[in-house]
Homo-oligomer: A and B are copies of this chain.
Amino acid sequence: MLTAIEKAGILVEALPYIRKFFGKTIVIKYGGHAMTDEKLKQAVMTDVILMKYVGINPVIVHGGGPEINHLLDRLGMKSSFIQGLRVTDRETMEVVEMVLVGKVNKEIVSLLNQNGGKAVGLSGKDGQLIEARKKFLTPFNGEEDQIYELGFVGEVARINPEIIETVVEKGYIPVVAPVGVGADGESYNINADYVAGAIAAALQADKLILLTDVEGIYRKFGDASTLYSLVRLAEIPGLINEGVISGGMIPKVQCCIQAIQGGVSTAHILDGRIAHSILLEIFTDQGIGTMVVR
């Protein structure tokens, strides 16, 4: 049981952060364990609503979690993969969109509303928020003359942030499903990390937060004492060459780079498995995860 003075201390510790982020926009990529564990889910919602109440404008971009696979399985639809990415034909894309927009997005919206927030769900089609183009994979090792495409897997061509600004201005928390729309009106599945990064840049957000299932970037993987609390843009190429940043961390770091180059002040790779890691990152002196800066 905390004493009154300890309680007051925490609130006082939060003050400079509240001051610093007042009126700023923070884009949160919401995914991983934080999206499936009931307690973590609740904690993220609380963190987001708290941010809103102290004058920060949070924007949530969510991934799909295991729900997509679940429905594909039930429908008996099999997928092939290239470089770990699912080849997405039109029928698969329909399932992806239904799950992302009609299920996952709506659950987050509802949860925020149940906890005292005012949320509005958006897909990339609403107000043409996310204009997409087909993503082409250039091959790895030496197959220089082959370019793969993955059907309706897309990348961000352009963000039209007006609809986000419209709802934020009226006090709503926007919750964005990472479905883009092509010039032809077709739906495209886009990696939520990239969508979050692009939206953060388009909104000139102050922070991009990627909630992940790791603690951040390690010098020595698995050795908590070697966690980088801060990485500068200039150091990243070296870290990739050395293999310190590798595998699934590479695209996450790329999102951070793009966001920062687009005008976002800092990007954070946070451990979503810790309850209230967003809150701790934003409002306390507690060092959490890895921060990427210019």
Which residues on A are within 8 Å of B, measured CB to CB?
Answer: 2, 4-16, 18-19, 22, 43, 46, 49-50, 53-55, 71, 74-75, 94, 97-103, 105-106, 109-111, 113-114, 116, 118-123, 125-128, 162-163, 166-167, 170, 172, 179, 181, 185, 187, 274-276, 279-280, 283-284, 286, 288
Contact = CB atoms under 8 A, between A and B. Distances in A.
Contact of A185 (B2, B46, B110, B286): B110
- How many copies make up the complex? 6
Contacts of A185: 110-111, 113-114
A172 B75 CA distance: 35
Contact of A286 (B7, B102, B275): B7
B98 A18 contact: no
13 contacts: A2-B10, A4-B286, A12-B50, A15-B46, A19-B116, A98-B98, A98-B103, A100-B102, A101-B102, A106-B123, A113-B128, A114-B185, A121-B126
A181 B110 contact: yes
Contact of A6 (B2, B55, B105): B2
A49 B15 contact: yes
Nearest to A122: B120
A53 B22 contact: yes
A262 to B, nearest CB: 24
A98 B163 CA distance: 22
Given A102-B99, A102-B100, A113-B185, A11 B121 contact: no
Most chain B C-beta atoms within 10 Å of own C-beta, residue among A2, A9, A15, A113? A15
Nearest to A50: B15
A116 B18 CA distance: 11
Nearest to A184: B114
A103 B101 CA distance: 8
Contacts of A170: 162, 166
A213 to B, nearest CB: 18
B276 A18 contact: no
Contacts of A46: 12, 15
A2 B2 contact: yes
Given A8-B275, A113-B185, 4 more contacts: A12-B279, A101-B102, A101-B106, A111-B185
